[in-house]
Amino acid sequence: MFAGLPLLSHEQQQQAVERIQELMTQGMTSGEAIATVAAEIRATHTGERVVALFEDEDDDGGEEDDGYDDDTDDR
């Protein structure tokens, strides 16, 4: 899926975080607060947008390569 996402400055990102935290202190769950702030940003953002491609996690039904060798135990 392609999505035109608002391109936010660091300051705008920080304001969004603070707004999410404010909503959570008022009793909203983190998911609700994030969704609310995201909707507010989409409704009011007039700046640049970035195009992103989101792929389904399990398109081919197989496991993704996570970059780790599952046969070793180096932990």
pLDDT, tens only, 41-75: 888 866 666 666 667 766 555 555 556 665 555 55
User: In degrees rounded to 5, what are phi and psi of residue 68?
Assistant: -105, 145
Quote the tokens at residue 52: 């992103």
Contact 60, 11 (CB under 8 A): no
Residue 47 lies in a domain: yes
Q: What is the pTM of this model?
A: 0.58
Write the pLDDT tens digit of every residue in 17-38: 999 999 999 999 999 999 999 8
Residue 59 lies in a domain: no
Helices (H), the chain: 10-25, 30-44
Q: Within a 10 A sphere around the Cβ of 38, how many other Cβ atoms? A: 14
Residue 19 lies in a domain: yes
Q: Sorting pLDDT into bands at 50, 70 and 90, what band is 16?
A: very high
8 closest CA partner among 36, 49, 39: 49
Return d(Cα 23, Cα 14) in angstroms, integer. Answer: 14
Total number of domains constituting the chain: 1
Give the domain range for residue 49.
Answer: 2-53
Residue 30 lies in a domain: yes
Residue 17 lies in a domain: yes
Residue 69 lies in a domain: no
